[in-house]
């Protein structure tokens, strides 16, 4: 098994980046906090109906599903800072460290 990618802070402490792997559109409220804090333009605001596969007879579908939510638009640009998860009021983001 390969070692997990690590780095060092300016002070010399070891740091392990955790890259965004998923964003739950059913939990997201479209507040834009992750979008605003992300230094790499990883996220984009879209219609929830474009990312959630629900029909109007589904119990998970409600009138709020016409709202906007965040989606991961450029996952390859994520630097693993986890700033998005720190500002998210709904804990929508999933992150993981990757092997180098």
Q: Is 35 among the domain residues? A: yes
Q: How far apart are CA 98 and CA 75, in angstroms?
A: 13
Q: How is 27-63 classified by DSSP, letter by letter?
A: T-----HHHHH-TT--EEEEEHHHH----TTSTT--G
pLDDT at 1: 57
Reported pTM: 0.81
**CATH number of domain containing 87:** 3.30.70.20
Q: Is 34 among the domain residues? A: yes
Which residue, 88, 94, 78, is CA-closest to 28?
88
pLDDT at 26: 93
Q: What is the pLDDT of residues 24-67, one digit of tens each?
A: 999 999 999 999 999 999 999 999 999 887 665 555 555 555 78
Q: Is 1 among the domain residues? A: no
Q: Is 40 among the domain residues? A: yes
Q: How many domains does the chain have?
A: 1
Q: Is 2 among the domain residues? A: no
Tokens of 12: 């010399």
Q: Could you tell me the residue range of the domain that residue 62 belongs to?
A: 7-96
């Amino acid at each position: 098994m390969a070692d997990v990618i690590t780095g060092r802070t300016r002070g010399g402490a070891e740091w392990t980046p955790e890259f965004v792997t998923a964003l739950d559109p059913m939990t997201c409220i479209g507040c834009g906090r992750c979008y605003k804090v992300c230094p790499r333009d990883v996220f984009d605001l879209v219609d929830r109906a474009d990312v959630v596969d629900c029909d109007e007879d589904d119990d998970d579908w409600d009138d709020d599903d016409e709202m906007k939510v965040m989606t991961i638009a450029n996952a390859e640009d994520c630097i693993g800072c986890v700033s998005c998860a720190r500002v998210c009021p709904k804990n929508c983001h999933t992150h993981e460290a990757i092997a180098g």
